[in-house]
Structure 1
Amino acid sequence: MEGYKFRLQKLLDIRSDKEEESKRLFKEAQLEREGAEQKLNTLKENYNKYRSSESKNLVEQKLKHMYLNALNVSIVEADTILKLKTDKLDERREQLKQRQIERKTVETLKDNQLKAFIKEQDFIEQKTNDEFALYGFLRARERR
């Protein structure tokens, strides 16, 4: 709107930038969690695959047993990492929500001020139009 200047525009811009940064961090955390989840699923699939296979001799059984133990340890670690990534994702989600609320608060203030400005401009325009109409009416009366 011509003539309207929002005095808190810099604050709105800063909050919008912070929200965009939070969106980026949330997306990163989401990708990290998905990667950790995929790794965990792969480890579980490998564990189930080799657990059900049969070993022919003692050496193969021993190697299979050691491999399954290593997979089991890796699964526990991957599960722990997945929980940490999930917690981080939840934290980023809450941070994003908070930043969206902060931005929307200032945006709502801007919208309300713009509506008030438009209403004031409409009132001034209506007052001017009424004055012109009154002058026109008075001139028309004087001519008679």
Structure 2
Amino acid sequence: MKSYSFRLQKLLEMREKKEEQSKLEFKKAENEKRFEEEKLFKLKDNYSKYSNINLNDSVIEKKIRHNYLRSLNYCINETSENLDKKVDIVEKKREELKKCQIEKKTVEILKEKDKLAFEKEQKMIEQKLNDELALYAYMRNQN
């Protein structure tokens, strides 16, 4: 009985590697997005913390606070834009990962079907051999 070998094994291995690479890229994009979300949260938290105007502050303190709040607002807007870009990148990476998973699964299904056909063929060969042996034994017993 011969052993099973899949003709497209190299293709399957390449697709598995491609899927793993895609998973890593997706994870990296997710981490970058999470980092931007945390950064935005901290900036908004600082803005809300320092946005309360104290009437007892001097003019210089008010001016410094105002400049700081403007700077925070600019950073919040910039970080929001970066976060939107990161979200788009994550979605693209997710679609790439889905595509890679589908491609790999397609080859895996082909492999499963091919292996089942091989096993069925081997069982038929074995059954044919058993039938022939039984026939020879019957013929010998008849003589």
- Shared fold per TM-score greater than 0.5: yes
Q: Aligned partners of 2:44, 2:34: CA distance in 1, in Å?
A: 15
2:121 maps to 120
Q: CA RMSD in A?
A: 1.3
Structure 1's consecutive aligned runs of 4 or more residues displaced over 6 angstroms after TM superposition are none
- Shift in Å, 1:54: 2.0
The secondary structure found in structure 2 opposite 1:5 is coil
Q: TM-score, length-normalised on structure 1?
A: 0.95
Aligned length: 142
Q: Aligned partners of 1:122, 1:54: CA distance in 2, in Å?
A: 88
Give the letter for the 2:99 counterpart.
Answer: Q
Give the letter for the 2:4 counterpart.
Answer: Y
- Shift in Å, 1:132: 1.0
Q: Aligned partners of 2:118, 2:51: CA distance in 1, in Å?
A: 73
1:52 maps to 52
Q: Aligned partners of 2:53, 2:8: CA distance in 1, in Å?
A: 68
Give the letter for the 2:22 counterpart.
Answer: S
Aligned pair 1:15/2:15, yes or no? yes
1:102 maps to 103
Structure 2: gaps spanning 5 or more residues: none
**Aligned CA distance change for structure 1 residues 29 and 48 (closer, same or farther; 3 Å):** same
Q: Aligned partners of 2:78, 2:2: CA distance in 1, in Å?
A: 60
Structure 1: gaps spanning 5 or more residues: none
Q: Aligned partners of 1:79, 1:61: CA distance in 2, in Å?
A: 26
Q: Aligned partners of 1:21, 1:61: CA distance in 2, in Å?
A: 52
Q: Aligned partners of 1:84, 1:4: CA distance in 2, in Å?
A: 48
Q: Aligned partners of 2:113, 2:93: CA distance in 1, in Å?
A: 30
Aligned pair 1:82/2:83, yes or no? yes
Q: TM-score, length-normalised on structure 2?
A: 0.95
